[in-house]
Structures are given as C-alpha cells and as structure tokens.
Amino acid sequence: MIQQLVHLPETSSSAIEQIRESYSDRSSQYSGPPFEQLDEEVQGMLEDYLGARGITSHLASVIPDYVDVKEQKEYLAWLKRVKSFVE
C-alpha cells in the first residue's frame, strides 16, 4: 500500500543523502498530500510506474520475510564471532 509520495529534486548529492536531508527537517519541505487523496488517475499512473519497475505488492510481501532471514543470519554470525572471542 502506498501511503505517501515524496519527490526529491535531483542534485549533486546522492539519493540517500537527499532522503536523509528530506526527513531530518520535514517541517521545511511540503511532502505532498496522502496518496489516497490524489486523483485516481494519478494514483493509477504512479502504481503503473512502480509496477513497471518491479515494485509490486508481491515485493512488499517478500521483504519482511527477507528481513527476518537476513537478521537471523547476521545474528548467528555475531554469535560465532562472540564465541570465538570468548574461547
């Protein structure tokens, strides 16, 4: 489900820096209306745009599972490093 759409202007800084800057001072930048308040045609075009790039509800359902697996792997690797240090 799309809740909000924020457009970040293209500058010389990286995309990640733009996102951090954008969210660190949210009061100074208008981030647009909630997604469901946009015109239905605009919503449809944005959903088509994301879908064409593989950003779908299927991806959204896979991400939490992937995060759990990745976190478990990192935790096990951490435990092995701690065990190695203690021994």
- pLDDT reported for residue 31: 73
Using alpha carbons only, what angle is made at residue 72 by residues 67 and 77, rounded to the nearest 5 degrees? 125
- pLDDT reported for residue 43: 93
Asked if residues 29 and 22 have their Cβ atoms less than 8 Å apart, the reply is: yes
Q: Where are the chain's structural domains?
A: 1-55, 56-87
Query: Would you say residue 29 has pLDDT above 70?
Result: no
**Does residue 10 come out as left (phi exceeding 0), alpha (psi in the -120 to 50 range) or beta?**
beta
pTM of the model: 0.56
- pLDDT reported for residue 22: 64
Residue pLDDT, tens place only, 33-66: 889 999 999 999 999 999 999 999 899 899 999 9
